[in-house]
Amino acid sequence: MTAARVIIAGGGPVGLMTALGLAHAGVPVLLIEQEPALTIDLRAGSYHPPTLEAMAPYGITDRMLERGIKVRHWQIRDRNNPAWVANWDLGLIADLTPYPYRLHLEQHRLTPIILDILRGEPLAEIQFSARFTGVEQTADGVRVTYERNGERTVVDGAYLIGADGGRSNVRKAIGMPFEGFTWDERFMVISTSFDFQTRGYAKNVYLADPDQWATLFQMPGDVTPYWRIVIPTDINIPEDVLAAPDAVEAWLQNFAPRADERYEVLYNSFYRVHQRVARNFRSGRVLLAGDAAHLNNPLGAFGLNSGIQDAANLIPKLAAVWHGAAPDSLLDLYDRQRHTATVEHVQANSIANKRTMEERDPALRKAHFEELVHTAETPELARRFLINSSMIAAVQRASEVA
């Protein structure tokens, strides 16, 4: 069985989800992760309805709901004009999903849930501190090399899945082009205990501004909720200058003054943002998923969600091929479906969202917000908007590709 197992590189949520789904479907898997333990990612943490549906059959979603914050109502606002507020109600799509809300839960609280369930699967083997170093393909399998505790190991498998992040060594090993571009800004994440609902904000807000837009998410803390704020920063200013306590305090006070009371800042961090898509999500017996296959900016919360949706699409196809119930060409359909959904929805919408948030032309900004407010206040139009923004349309589009 070891030669027939599927090897997965990457122990993030996409790799863990794929391993769990395959093992649950009777496919033996070996998951290798180069870090010694699960990592703490302070970026992703907002889950759309189709993603919650994809994880529900394995018991993941129910456990997420024990800690997560349900967000039925969210907003798009303009920082400079308080009249420009579009209020969205995901209850309008309650007939389409059992989860008519966004669920907020940090990624580093999701991965332990999946890992715990995965450890209960007898067909799953997990190795940490195992760094993927190479792959060779044969007519009927793959030979994967990795290093663990200073030792080189070679293992055979039926397929290899690269779910090892934006810098994917698997993608590089197969020479797959990663086409697109990198945004000029560096994004900064600020977390604070202050409750922005006291200022009229929903639990998830996108604030447009030509000079510095912002996004706000209420997240579940260890005791009480906290708020995560994402803003773009000048790439030419050093991180230590931007993250200095007085600089962060000054930004927060400018954003929401507190009359001589300082903010409690829990942490801050930085990351670069890319818009890139692998030319193909399949190369022979090697498949790509999640950030290894595509990267996008965070405006819309599409990144991790689309990765989990990759896994949900791939699992039944690869399981059917592995069990001999479908031809190997079924994996080409995974490539076509997920590549199409990524380009037409994830990339297109996240780019459009960012450009809208930072639009400088006053007339265009006014026209856009008038249209947004009208859409949000018209149930039929709002429903159509929410089907798209919640990624239901993206999943539907993938299923249409033959």
Nearest Cα to Cα of residue 401 among 311, 351, 336: 336
Structural domains of the chain, ranges and CATH numbers in brackets:
2-179+274-400 (3.50.50.60)
SS3 assignment, position 163: coil
* Runs of H (alpha helix) within 156-204: 169-173
Token couple for 192: 């604070």
If you write DSSP's letter for every residue of 76-144 in order, what string do you get?
A: EEESS-TT-EEEEEGGGGTTT-S--SEEE--HHHHHHHHHHHHTT-TTEEEESSEEEEEEEEETTEEEE
219: which strand partners?
Answer: 226
pLDDT number for residue 127 = 97
Token couple for 66: 């024990």
pLDDT number for residue 42 = 76
Nearest Cα to Cα of residue 154 among 133, 125, 170, 123: 133
Helices (H) and strands (E) in the chain, counts: 13, 20
Paired sense of beta strands 6-9 and 29-32, if any = parallel
pLDDT tens, 258-278? 988 999 999 999 999 999 999
Cβ contact 292:166 at 8 Å: yes
pLDDT number for residue 296 = 96
Cβ contact 293:338 at 8 Å: yes
pLDDT number for residue 260 = 82
pLDDT tens, 221-248? 989 999 999 999 999 999 999 999 999 9
Whole-number Å distance between alpha carbons of 121 and 317: 20
Token couple for 136: 């060779």
Q: Average pLDDT of each block of 10 consecutive residues along the chain (402 residues)?
A: 87 98 98 95 89 98 98 96 96 98 97 98 98 95 96 97 98 98 94 95 97 95 94 95 96 92 94 96 98 96 97 98 97 98 97 95 96 98 98 97 96
Token couple for 226: 């906290």
Cβ contact 166:291 at 8 Å: yes
Whole-number Å distance between alpha carbons of 388 and 309: 15
Whole-number Å distance between alpha carbons of 192 and 212: 19
